[in-house]
Chains A and B, each alone.
Chain A
Amino acid sequence: MATRDVHERSHEIPPKASIKLGPTQDEEVFGNAFSGQVVGRFLKYVMAYKALLWVAITAVLVFTITSIAIPLIVRNVYDDALKEGAGDRSKLAVMVIAFLIAIGFNFVANYLQELIVGRVAERILIDMRRAMYSHLQRISLSFMDKTEIGKLMSRLQGDVAALQEFLQTAVFALGDLVLLIGIIGAMIWLDWRLGLMTLAVLPTLFIIRIIWLPYARRSFLRARVTSSIVSGALAENINGIRAVQGMSREYVNYDLFDIRATDNLKAANRASKFGVMMLPIVDTLTGAAMAIIVIMGGFFVLGGTIEVGVMVAFVLFVQRFFDPIRALTMHYNVLQRAMASGERIFEVIDVPVDIADKPNAIDPDEIDGSIKFENVTFGYLPNQPILKNINFEVKPGETVALVGPTGSGKTSTTALVHRFYDIWEGSVKVGGYDVRDVTQDSLGRHVSMVLQEPFLFSGTIFENIKYAKDDATREDIVAAAQAVGAHEFIMKLPEGYETELEQRGGNLSLGQRQLISFARAIVADAKILVLDEATASIDSYTEMLIQQALQRLMEGRTGMVIAHRLATIRGADRIIVLQDGEIIEMGNHDELMELGGLYSRLYSMNYASFDDIPDELIQQATQAAEGTST
């Protein structure tokens, strides 16, 4: 791809808008190879499959023992059945049968260990993912606001898989350990002198590994970090592809991505170097061990102190001896990665659910639909209140409108009705109950919302309107769609209600998505309906039709409506004007118009264009709005 001048420039001065770094370095702890806490908690998940795991561990042990037994049998073949000049067929037959039996056990044990360990690991993977996922369903929104979905997804996928891998290795590592001990034991039992001589190479290996480890670890870590950066950059570009193409960022992004991918390539190559470095070392030591066996063992044989079968067994053992060592050091890597992953997973699971139901929270079946804010102060960040001392009351069946300049706190107010966040001071009461005293589920049932941003799920239109209301009938859904004026366009789609929506409803226009999300709130059939600019992307005519239909639906229900197009809320029983997080005016349309405050100015703005309006009116409005910001 021709990268044009951008390529050169991007290396000189970094471009302003840099691709975010994905999971950041500081997040990747230089994980301990072993963290008792992580392992302990992990064990709890494992313990659910205790019985199966015991079978698996037995299988691993049987497998290991038979693996050790096989060279020993071969040795006996040599020493008993194939004695020089004294070959014995029947002994040979016995040995071969013993061999066959060992193979039989080996086979069954091998199958069982692979099968059980594999399946249990899959199950635990799912259990852990589920634990994390269901916890995420409860964690407060203030945590979710700060957390990138991509990162959570990588915990739900990558980190969980790393722990799964760990479990698998842990069981096999146990086998390796037993194998190693078994081999050492067998060698010493066969001939302790030769055994010890052979084992003399081991300390060297350990020393080399101890020197090697910190370097290797760092290089592996670096490879992992750069790789997650690359993934993050890729994900960002895919999610924002429309913005990327619309603003012709392709070249810059390509170059930035190239820098990151090249970093990763280098780091990965470096890590490979450290990885393969161990091969000749291990092989050299194997060679040394074999040389020792050949020389010393040979001399012993010549001297008649040991039989030749012992030497053969030794040679066979040495070949296997280094396999578990190599495997164990590989497991070390897995272990380390698993600890880092485990920490990240438990970090999510440990995020306190700061908005939890009280133990004695009530779950009222019916509420009257009143809403009451008493001296409510609230903010997202410490010391930065967004809503200040808010007081208002909505009576059952009333419709109240929230109006105000952008960023004045309207959406935040509605979020509190549903207890998305906990307030700092004061109280919010819904149906006469403090929202902190009732269950969140009951709030969900009694308050339904059309959010400012219409989010739809993949799936059919039907499923989207029905959403969580499992007992809604087809008629309910069609009626809701009709009420919001969506029925007509839905029926025009080739598959009608069964039309599959793309991600986030991408194959509908924004207004259409808003209508569907509106219909979804109606189907929920709640006592309180919150409409946060539910008709912002809908023309006034369609809106009027919706309002007419709503009048029937809203009977006996409480409404809380936010709109910038003031014509939308003229009919509200009460209008609350918010500015900079404070209520500055309250009353019905006529009263507020008479008052001549912010509302009346905003209202006149709405039906006039700035050319028509006398300059001082703009001035006023401008100042008024600026008042928000100073």
Chain B
Amino acid sequence: MRITRMALQYRWRLFAGLITIFLASGFQLAIPILIGSAVDAARSLDGNNVEIANGMVVSAIDEITGVFGEGSDPAKTALIIIAVLLFIMSVGRGLSAMIQNYMGESIGQAIGYELRMLYYEKLQRLSFSYHAGVHTGDLITRGIIDVEGVRMFVQTALLRTVFLIVLIGTGMYLMLSEDLTLGLISLSFVPFVAWRATAARLKLRSNWYQLQERLSALTKVMDENLGGIRVVRAFASQDHEMKKFDEASNETLALANIQVGIRASNISLMGVAFMLAMAAVLWVGGLKVIDGELSPGELTQFLAFMSILLQPVRQIGMMINGYARGSATGGRLFAVLDLVPEIQDKPDAKDLVISKGTLEFHNVSFGYEGEHTLNGVSFKVEPGHTIGIVGPPGSGKSTIAHLVPRFYDPIEGYITIDGQDLRDVTLDSLRKAVGVVEQDTFLFTASVEHNVAYGDPWAPDDRIELASKYAQLGDYIERLPSGYNTLVGERGVSLSGGQRQRLSIARSIMLKPKLIVFDDSTASIDAATEQRIRAALTDLTKDRATIIISHRLSSLMHADEILFIEQGNIVERGTHEELLALGGHYNDLYELQIRPTEFDSAHRESEGRDNDGGGS
């Protein structure tokens, strides 16, 4: 498994972990042997019986008995020695268990960290086309819960599995070599446990996948409800929302119950299998003792072995859960990590070199899914010039804006800046040179200052203030009690629509882009404020190429060229005067917006009549 391979990087810790595993199981297994001999030692009224006990102990005892001198009772001496050995073994077991656990956890944490960084990095690189199709709640869950799942898996399962195998393996060997029949009986639970474990793991795993899916559906419901809280309130749709919640929530409950059921039957079945084996040992072993084939000490040894194995057997149950979870969550995580961003630097990409800053679209076609959204769009903006774009909703204006910083690649045709194809330059240099004021403003839950300086985190205060002034936001901010440190709320809820847009303009100005695109970024701003923004920006846009997308014609009537887009085609193009002369769509818009009198008075008269009718 891939996670195991990742763990192999931490060779030293893994090695230390493995060594301590062997130590720990050695100590662990020595304990029953010692206990067994202690029982026999205590039973023996005559010290010789001690020799029944394990050879190692016996020789140790013999050696040290000498030291004790003759007067002491050899049985007592033996007991003391065994006790000391027991104590040492226990301490040894504790220490090696500590190291082993620590190694396991620290590898787990290191891998968790590594995955987290990889995941973060990958998400930052994945292009818009990927992000558009996944729910942010899902991505967040993966980054938190799935990384945690993998970490827990590494931490508890990986080294622990080795430990259990070593422990159970050696235990088996010891028991079998001691007494074959009894050994076989006491191990009879192993195949059963192994079978249950595999069966349950498969079931749990598929259940886990389903549960995660349902959980992410539930997350989506809750997340959108809270994000769209104003809509929920506006439509007083709390009941509707509770119904959605209950449906999603009950689906998760059903699956969680199945999971609890599998776990409960698993744990209890494994436990009972083990206990049955113990009963059998007691019966068969007891008979053997009665027949004198076995010493009671040896029987104790068997029982002690078994009770040492009890914990590991229980843990197998838990680890199956861990495996199921680890492979399910690991699978989802790696699915993201393995994605190749659609848009990335070519291996030989160079930084964009801007000599003048001329942007040119060459017969560009583009579509999001199959169908074409743009068809053969060509235009050119020189520095200091402005292109205006108008068109009905969904005609492809924002799409054009998204192609400039290469959020998407054209399907046909190409885009150049100063003759360099966008696909041949590095994304970083391109995006630093191009500023897009997005139509759909996103603000971070942070202070005004942090939002303005988002693209230039080391900007001095005076630049931040200047940019805010340009965007006609300065006065407003300064009047706020906490000024630039005012928090804007999630996505800027505590700002008005126009304030959000102006903040976003200020943020883009901070980048000092060579080329700037305003995507309908003054729609919520009144005309007077907009005029002032434009007046302030004339300075800035003087030697830059500018694209203005707007529905308000006064915003772009002075553009050097205006494109009217409809269904991805440029249907009209020219200067304001040329387009008016053409008398097409643009002219219609103009009539509607700009010449209220003729177009409108007729319109208004009819309206007036309607109102009269309605009112009376």
Contact = CB atoms under 8 A, between A and B. Distances in A.
B491 to A, nearest CB: 8
Contacts of B263: 114, 118
A269 B151 CA distance: 13
Contacts of A606: 527, 552, 554, 593
A385 interface: no
B45 interface: yes
Given A299-B79, A406-B529, A539-B390, A96 B283 contact: yes
Of listed A152, A517, A622, residue having the most chain B CB within 10 A: A622
Given A74-B303, A103-B272, A298-B38, A455 B236 contact: no
B79 A298 contact: yes
A240 B445 CA distance: 10
A237 B442 CA distance: 12
A1 interface: yes
A542 B451 CA distance: 34
B43 interface: yes
Given A319-B307, A514-B393, A538-B393, A283 B496 contact: no
A130 interface: yes
A-B residue pairs, 9 tightest by C-beta: A444-B236, A287-B90, A406-B498, A511-B393, A283-B94, A87-B290, A15-B457, A280-B94, A468-B237
Interface stretch (B1-9, B139-147, B198-206, B326-334): B139-147
A145 B493 contact: yes
Given A88-B290, A276-B105, A606-B593, A405 B529 contact: yes
Nearest to A99: B279
A476 interface: no
Contacts of A251: 428
A16 B79 CA distance: 71
B84 to A, nearest CB: 7
Interface string B515-542: 0000010011111111110110000000
B62 to A, nearest CB: 18
Interface string B444-458: 111001110111111
A235 B450 contact: no
Nearest to B27: A283
Contacts of A78: 296
Contact of B105 (A275, A506, A554): A275
B261 A230 contact: no
Interface stretch (A38-46, A191-199, A309-317, A429-437): A309-317
Nearest to A535: B551
Nearest to A383: B481
B42 interface: yes
B234 to A, nearest CB: 4
A58 to B, nearest CB: 16
Contacts of B261: 115
B290 A81 contact: yes
Contact of B264 (A111, A444, A458, A629): A111
Contacts of A467: 231, 235, 237, 240
A512 B458 contact: no
Contacts of A241: 123-124, 131
Contacts of A231: 140, 143-144
B223 A625 contact: no
Of listed B117, B235, B279, B428, residue having the most chain A CB within 10 A: B235
How many A residues touch the partner, as a band? 35 or more
A608 interface: yes
Interface stretch (B181-189, B252-260, B412-420): B252-260
A207 interface: no
B79 A311 contact: no
A607 B593 CA distance: 7
B59 interface: no
A16 B507 CA distance: 13
B79 A629 contact: no
A424 interface: no
A295 interface: yes
B392 A319 contact: no
Contact of A252 (B224, B457, B588): B457
Given A294-B86, A411-B497, A629-B475, A82 B289 contact: yes
Give the secondary structure class of B's interface: helix
B563 interface: no
Nearest to B519: A510
A25 B511 CA distance: 33
Interface stretch (A214-222, A242-250, A337-345): A242-250
Interface in B132-176: 132-133, 135-137, 139-140, 143-144
B496 A407 contact: yes
Interface string B430-453: 011000101110101110011101
B260 A288 contact: no
A152 to B, nearest CB: 6
Given A284-B91, A380-B494, A248 B226 contact: no
A17 B524 CA distance: 26
B79 A87 contact: no
A418 interface: yes
A458 B253 contact: no
Contact of A149 (B227, B257, B472, B528): B227
Given A406-B498, A503-B135, A538-B551, A468 B86 contact: no
B257 A122 contact: yes
B615 interface: yes
A236 B144 CA distance: 13
Contacts of A264: 113
Given A248-B428, A570-B596, 13 more contacts: A82-B296, A144-B226, A234-B116, A238-B123, A239-B136, A245-B124, A291-B87, A444-B235, A448-B235, A605-B527, A605-B554, A618-B531, A629-B476
Interface residues of B, number: 203
Contact of A468 (B132, B240, B497): B240
A609 interface: yes
A110 B264 CA distance: 8
Contacts of B128: 242, 245
B120 A301 contact: no
Interface in A291-350: 291-292, 294-295, 297-299, 301-302, 308, 311-312, 315-316, 319-320, 323
9 contacts: A17-B444, A88-B290, A95-B286, A115-B260, A118-B264, A145-B489, A238-B139, A243-B454, A290-B35
B279 A103 contact: yes
A295 B79 contact: yes
A570 B535 CA distance: 27
A451 B88 CA distance: 74
B95 interface: yes
Contact of A299 (B76, B282, B289, B496): B76
B421 interface: no
Interface stretch (B96-104, B353-361, B374-382): B96-104
B60 interface: no
A134 B242 contact: yes
B502 interface: yes
Nearest to B520: A537
Nearest to B99: A276
Contact of A533 (B432, B475, B524): B524
A370 interface: no
B603 interface: yes
Given A87-B289, A538-B393, A96 B458 contact: no
A630 B450 CA distance: 25
Interface stretch (A29-37, A47-55, A181-189, A253-261): A253-261
A403 B502 CA distance: 18
Contacts of B264: 111, 114-115, 118
B300 A312 contact: yes
Interface in A104-143: 106-108, 110-111, 114-115, 118-119, 122-123, 126, 129-130, 133-134, 136-138, 141
Nearest to A608: B554
